[in-house]
Amino acid sequence: MESKLIVAIDGPAGSGKSTVSKEVAKKLGLIYVDTGAMYRALTLKAVRNKIDLNDPKALIDLAKKTDIRLVAGGDSRLCVKLDGEDVSGEIRTPFVTNNVKYIAGIKGVREEMVNLQRKAAMGKGAVLEGRDIGTIVFPDADIKIYLDASIDERVKRRYKELIAKDPGITIAEVKQDVAARDKSDENRSVGPLKKADDAILIDTTKMTIEEVAESILQRIRAIKR
């Protein structure tokens, strides 16, 4: 295990960061932290409690009273615990996906989530993936990676992922959704999607998951020499 090593992996939707991050964490024996899952879990709780997603104060108060933990499952999947309840499947629904932007754009909420993310990794080492890991959460990470891919490739990947859950979805709808998410992530006033100046850019358009993971691992080996 690469003790206390912090690996920051950022990138837009469909860039491959979730799958790659899991693979890198597995190879290094590190904790995998899906920061987006934490925002999704809070979104789910807000909806369940019928809290107005346009009420920042209520959402910040909710974040302060919420316990979100990421636990490695026995089958290597990540278990997302919301106040002790496994919500791993429920946070991936289209409804949560479409509403998480309201939660993620609130400064006070992000501050609470960043504290949880740092706590999860501090002193243990971790591979964290998200949109502001290298710029906000761990600006002093041992290595920062920014994954990207062409819009067409990212749409194709998202479509493949979503078609299993919603057979009626069209490629045009997915493209519109990806473009909207990019715009929302990039223009968010707090913790926007942005490549850190010292992050290594990897274009994953024509690469397999294994190739991307190995490319990152090679860079980590280089800095550990």
Q: How far is CA 91 from CA 8, 77, 83, 96, in A?
A: 23, 14, 14, 6
Sheet strands (E) in 35-173 = 68-72, 78-82, 85-86, 126-130, 143-148
3-state secondary structure of 198: coil
Mean pLDDT of the chain: 92
38-52, 91-105, 203-217: least confident range: 91-105
Please give the order of strands across the beta sheet that includes 200-203: 31-34, 126-130, 6-10, 143-148, 200-203
pLDDT at residue number 24: 96
CA separation for the pair 221, 102 (Å, rounded): 39
In CATH terms, the superfamily for domain 1-30+127-220 is P-loop containing nucleotide triphosphate hydrolases (3.40.50.300)
pLDDT digits (tens, 9 = 90+) for 179-200: 998 998 898 888 889 999 999 9
Position 74 pLDDT exceeds 60: no
Q: Where are the domains of the chain?
A: 1-30+127-220, 35-123
H or E stretch including 129?
strand 126-130
CA separation for the pair 219, 49 (Å, rounded): 45
- The 3-state DSSP composition of the chain as helix, strand, coil percent (nearest 5) reads 50, 15, 35
pLDDT digits (tens, 9 = 90+) for 156-183: 999 998 888 888 999 999 999 999 989 9
CATH architecture classification, 35-123: 3-Layer(aba) Sandwich (3.40)
Please work out, in degrees rounded to the nearest 5, the angle formed at the alpha carbon of residue 40 by the alpha carbons of 37 and 43.
Answer: 155
Over pLDDT 90: what percentage of the chain?
A: 76
Position 2 pLDDT exceeds 80: no
Residues 6 or more apart from 115 whose CB is under 8 A from it?
none
CA separation for the pair 199, 220 (Å, rounded): 13
Structure-token match 């991307």, residue found: 212
Which two tokens mark 123?
A: 């002193």
CA separation for the pair 128, 112 (Å, rounded): 16
pLDDT digits (tens, 9 = 90+) for 144-153: 999 999 999 9
- Over residues 24-31, the mean pLDDT reads 92
Tell me if 1-30+127-220 shares its fold with 35-123: yes
